[in-house]
Structure 1
Amino acid sequence: MEAADSNAVHDTPEGTLVSIGYEGKTVDDLVAQLLDEDVRVLVDVRLTPLSRKPGLSKTKLSEALAAAGIGYVHHRALGNPKDNRAGFRAGDPASRTRYRKVLDSAAAHDALAHVCELLDDGAVALLCFEHNHAECHRNIVVHRLLEARPNAAVVHI
């Protein structure tokens, strides 16, 4: 019977990762979607957390999230270099390889470990611009996190 209990523990989700892009959304839309997914903390994986869209730059976004009871963390080390983004969006294998190398840095390892710790307290959202997660570097971040947390649930919004 003890073995069955042990297997049950391994089958339960080890947190929930919510991958979300703000493309086409207002800050209110974003916050509402995060609340619907019971997100506790949003991890901004943009290299530079600035946006032309009102309310979606770091300070205003963190204020809107705080008002909704959601924490905000910016992990610059998980950002995709600006000169790598167009190729990445286009599916260029070299751009994807380059970004994977970014995640091999000590700073990125520390940031990924921190996100894993945050998962202990509930759902964590990873935020970037692109609506389609397959065109965004956060998809690779999700895969790296799943290496450490293979039983984490993943929701793409």
Structure 2
Amino acid sequence: MVGVGYEGRDLDEFIRQLRGEGVARLVDVRLNPISRKRGFSKTALSTALADAEIAYEHMRELGNPKWNRPGFGGSPAELGAARGFYAQTLHDDHARTCLERIAFAARNQRVAVMCFEADESRCHRDLVLEAIHEQFSFAISA
């Protein structure tokens, strides 16, 4: 399993990276799978990934609420608070079901967990990957 962000990349470069890493399934953990960046909204992205033989799945249940996002780009204290809040959302039954689905898929194929942010330590997907690693003993690649 691997975490990926598309910040600062174009679609072709992003897909080349996924293929180069052997990714067979991309799980989109954005709350709203829309983007101002061409090619990264749900429909366009899922079509481009299908053309590259990579499955696409959006898991809204793992999205970070809009009001909590500024903390991920804030001071260390703000980051800690935002991470703490988001970590609690992963205990919700719907979120836990999504984590289980990702872990199940990762048993048979290489899965990438995607959001926008290039710096994974400043993105909620870091906590998604951490939860899967802790709960299901999966190795996470850098």
TM-score higher than 0.5 here? yes
Output the CA distance in 2 between the equivalents of 1:146 and 1:52: 31
Contact kept? 1:116, 1:148, Cα under 8 Å: no
TM-score normalised by structure 2 residue count:
0.94
C-alpha offsets along residues 115-149 of structure 1, whole Å, 9 cap, x if unaligned? 01110121100000000000000001111000123
Question: Following superposition of structure 1 onto structure 2, how do residues 106-145 of structure 1 map, counting pairs within 5 Å?
Answer: 106-145=93-132
1:82 aligns with 2:69: no
Question: Residue 102 of structure 1 is aligned with which of 89, 111, 125?
Answer: 89
State the one-letter code of the partner of 1:103: L
C-alpha offsets along residues 62-81 of structure 1, whole Å, 9 cap, x if unaligned? 00000000000000111100
Output the CA distance in 1 between the equivalents of 2:81 and 2:44: 34
State the one-letter code of the partner of 2:13: D
For 1:42, the equivalent position in structure 2 comes to 26
Q: Which has the higher strand share?
A: 1
Point out where structure 2 has 5 or more consecutive residues left out of the alignment: none
For 1:31, the equivalent position in structure 2 comes to 15
Point out where structure 1 has 5 or more consecutive residues left out of the alignment: 1-16
User: When the two structures are aligned, how many residues end up with a matched partner?
Assistant: 139
CA RMSD of aligned residues (A): 1.0
State the identity as a percent. 43
State the one-letter code of the partner of 1:135: R
What SS is found at the alignment partner of 1:20?
A: strand
What SS is found at the alignment partner of 2:18?
A: helix
Question: Following superposition of structure 1 onto structure 2, how do residues 38-77 of structure 1 map, counting pairs within 5 Å?
Answer: 38-77=22-61
Q: CA deviation at 1:153?
A: 2.9
